[in-house]
Amino acid sequence: MRTQVVIIGGGPSGLLLGQLLHTQGIDAVVLERKTRDYVLSRIRAGILETGTISLMHQAGVGARLEAEGFVHDGTIISYGDEEFTINFKEHTDTSVVVYGQTEVTRDLYDAREAAGLRTLFNVEQVEIHGADTDKAYVTYNVCGEIHRIDCDFIAGCDGFHGVSRQTIPLSVRREYEKVYPFGWLGILSETPPVNDELIYAASERGFALCSMRNAKLSRYYIQCSLSDKPEDWTDEAFWQELKRRIPAQHAEKLVTGPSIEKSIAPLRSFVTEPMRWGRLFLCGDAAHIVPPTGAKGLNTAASDIHYLFEGLKQHYLENNSAGLETYSEKALARVWKAERFSWWMTNLLHRFPDQTEFDLKMQKADIDFLRSNKSAQSVMAQNYIGLPY
């Protein structure tokens, strides 16, 4: 098989790149190691920056997002029973949209299938060959048979555990990592959200987040120990703990119900440099991970896709490779800013096991400063709605 771009990974970043390339007549094949249903069963974040929304429309898949997404003009920050609002609209004249990552992925799959584009599922033993030469190709196994795709470029959108990053020699890549000493226990419940806007709650008992997927589907999180397992927490225990961590006025009106999904996510910050090696380009979780506190995971992946798409479009339509040559530099400049914001929000709102009384006073002072200072609120709003590409 021959194609212009091989996209390894059929998650939202790989699918978004494929759809954008299709709008410009650039051929791409997507390789996914799982089934479509498996990919769509993953429960992930659902806050979209303005740039991500623009890319969805550019890819021709923004109609359902526009019709069903929940526009959020701000968010609530609380400490104990005290709370204040960061008004995105006031500070940036724009908003974010709550629209589940599963729905983003579904829209992209539907569009890809409608266009008859090639997506290969249940692909195993993917190997990248000749990425540092002008004869790159990818081999893979399906049902015991080895296949080969020759290509011009390879987009590694296969996540943290994928083959793409590991293909770049250790002598070339450098990795930066911070592992946080806690995780997030999250549940999904068929209950109305406790509030119209998200609530980021700091408390003496630890962090909590009240979010939603739609008017009848809520997503809640509480900070937990890394040694915890989802089965350690009954639904009743989760709801009781959540109520202890959010302001009393919200706890009183919280509608509880059975969880339909429950999981624990560890928190880490991770970046690998460079994000390009020859004809191989890393995107999304293959190159970087952020703690979910700042809602930057999917959105930072989308910014990678923007830079790579623009570079590929420039290469194929203008015979100019400048965008591809500078891809890693441009992507990383924005990635590190997203990492900083996610790190800052995580430190602002969580309880750390080694915090001293001084540390706690500094954390509270930081929250108080954010509450009282319009400039600080503006900086947070600018980062939350998404820095420009």
Backbone dihedral region for residue 60 (phi beyond 0: left; psi -120 to 50: alpha; all else: beta): left
Annotated catalytic residue 109: no
Place of tokens 């709008």: 23
Whether 137 is a known active-site residue: answer no
Q: Is 221 a catalytic residue?
A: no
Which listed residue (99, 140, 180, 200) is catalytic? 200
User: Which member of 140, 221, 307, 384 is catalytic?
Assistant: 384
Q: List the structure tokens of 300.
A: 């930072």
What is the C-alpha separation between 33 and 292, in angstroms, rounded?
A: 25
Task: Identify whether 200 is a catalytic site residue.
Answer: yes
Task: Choose, from 91, 296, 306, 350, the residue flagged as catalytic.
Answer: 296
Active-site pick, 72, 250, 315, 350: 72
At 231, is the secondary structure helix, strand, or coil? helix
The catalytic residue among 91, 193, 292, 307 is 292
Distances (CA, A) of 90 to 67, 176, 199, 342: 24, 35, 18, 22
Residue 140 among the catalytic residues: no
| 3-state secondary structure at position 64 | helix
CA angle at residue 14 from 343 to 313, to 5 degrees?
A: 105
Residue 284: φ, ψ to 5°: 65, -140
Residues 351 and 206: beta-carbon distance below 8 Å = yes
**Residues 6 or more apart whose Cβ sits within 8 Å of residue 318:** none
Instruction: Return the HEC string of 333-382.
Output: HHHHHHHHHHHHHHHHHCCCCCCCHHHHHHHHHHHHHHHHCHHHHHHHHH
Which residues participate in catalysis according to the annotation? 72, 200, 292, 296, 384
